[in-house]
Amino acid sequence: MCSSCGPAPITHSSLHHRIISHFIKVGNAPSIDDLAAGLDQPRGAVVEGLKALQEYHGVVLHPGSSEIWVIHPFSTAPTPFWVQGAKRAWWGNCAWCSLGIVALLKEDATITTTLGGETHQVSLRIEGGRLRDEGYLVHFPVPMKQAWDNVIYTCSTMLLFDSEVAIDRWCRSHRVPRGDAQPVAKVWEFAKTWYGRHLDEDWAKWSAAEARALFARFGLRGSIWDIPEVASRF
């Protein structure tokens, strides 16, 4: 950048890249002041940029402060998913996100969680890019077209189970609609592609058409995975 040009303008991709990179390198989210210093921008401009990124469904902000709460696949708040890498560890928002974190790390990692968010703790090990613990299912109870109606709730329900029977029992017990269950090995392969460009400097959300094509490519079909044609980005 030339000395007379001034700082580069804030964009969705520049904010997203800086936040995701910070999470991976440091283990937590940058503050608004961190972003302002790193981007050489006034604090107010960063806040407005973050709010715009939230409207784009690229981040979730704390309502009272505009600080970062969630930027998929990472959470700043405790969740039932703990992703341990070689040097750092993170909270994942859900089973899908946690696998996405490992995909971004490109290193061996272990995801520790509890089945159905309850008491039975299990681990998923990824070694050399291969998922070593495949005997589980990921339950998706919220239709994708409604995912961003309350994305925190949506993520909190994408949990790991050890059988279809356990999912049925859990849904009855907690009065959660029965959704689609997918083998965790398939979700791992899907997460590698879905989150594969999240570190790109020119990152953009998948278009609805791209998301539909990816769902079809990985055999994710049925009412849970339907996305309306009018949706612009997913």
CATH of domain 75-225: 3.30.450.410
In whole angstroms, what separates CA 234 from the centre of its chain? 12
- Residue 219's H or E segment, with its range, is none
pTM of the model: 0.94
Residues 82-120: pLDDT tens digits? Answer: 999 999 999 999 999 999 999 999 999 999 999 999 999
What are the pLDDT digits (tens) for 118-177? Answer: 999 999 999 999 999 999 999 999 999 999 999 999 999 999 999 999 999 999 999 999
Give the separation between CA 1 and CA 89, rounded to whole angstroms. Answer: 34
Please give the structure tokens belonging to residue 135. 């005997």
Q: What is the pLDDT of residues 176-207, one digit of tens each?
A: 999 999 999 999 999 999 999 999 999 999 99
Q: Which residues contact 41 (CB under 8 A, 6 or more apart)?
A: 7, 10, 35, 49
- Range 12-71 classified under CATH 3.30.460: no
- Where in the chain are the domains? 12-71, 75-225
Which pLDDT score is estimated for 7? 75
